[in-house]
Amino acid sequence: MSFLSQLVDRKTALVHTKTKVTTIDGKVFTEDRTGDDVLIEKIASRNSGFVVDNQPDLVVADVLPGLLMGAQDVAGDPELLRRHGITHVLNVGHDEIIRTAADDLPIVNHHLPLLDLPETDLITVLPSCFALIDAVREVGGTIYVHCNAGVSRSAAVTIGYLIHDQNLTYTEAYARLKSLRPSIRPNEGFVKQLKLYEKRLAL
């Protein structure tokens, strides 16, 4: 048998494999391989290259009398709003939340947008947030502070309020909120600004 014939026979005997490949940006392909021959075909795309958690986050952190915080999902759940006696909602997320089911509730909505970026100037927004929270609590109301995920922006505002109202250090305020809502994680820029805010109050 000639060398060429041996190569042809060997190639014919190679195992045919078909593999599904997903790229980091969510594109899905099939890789059809037989020996050195590869056929790549796009078969689908996902909305994102990561796993999306579609479950609503309905955990409410009871921070102080009259002050609650968490994710945006709670702000659209009328049963939770009623159960917690929420009279005001402060949204510090960038996008204004459009509510439907909760629109018939006598709730006052406030929107002070913040970008969840380290360079966002948190300090200049805190006084307005604190004044609103103080005003609601002073009349016996309950305010719910949220952003999108209830992880960074609303956590930073709430930690700042604990420093302001309870005379806590950043470390103490963070630990208290973390015990109530373990998922919080203010971005590094917010952390630096809150520590600076703590030092300013101590002067």
Residues noted as catalytic: 147
DSSP for 149-162, please give it: SSSSHHHHHHHHHH
CB 77 within 8 A of CB 101: yes
| Distance, CA of 89 to CA of 76 (rounded, Å) | 10
**Do strands 37-45 and 27-34 pair parallel, antiparallel, or not at all (unpaired)?**
antiparallel
| Distance, CA of 136 to CA of 142 (rounded, Å) | 6
DSSP letter at 151?
S
| Distance, CA of 73 to CA of 154 (rounded, Å) | 13
Residues in the chain: 203
The two tokens of residue 171 are 């470390």
DSSP letter at 96?
P
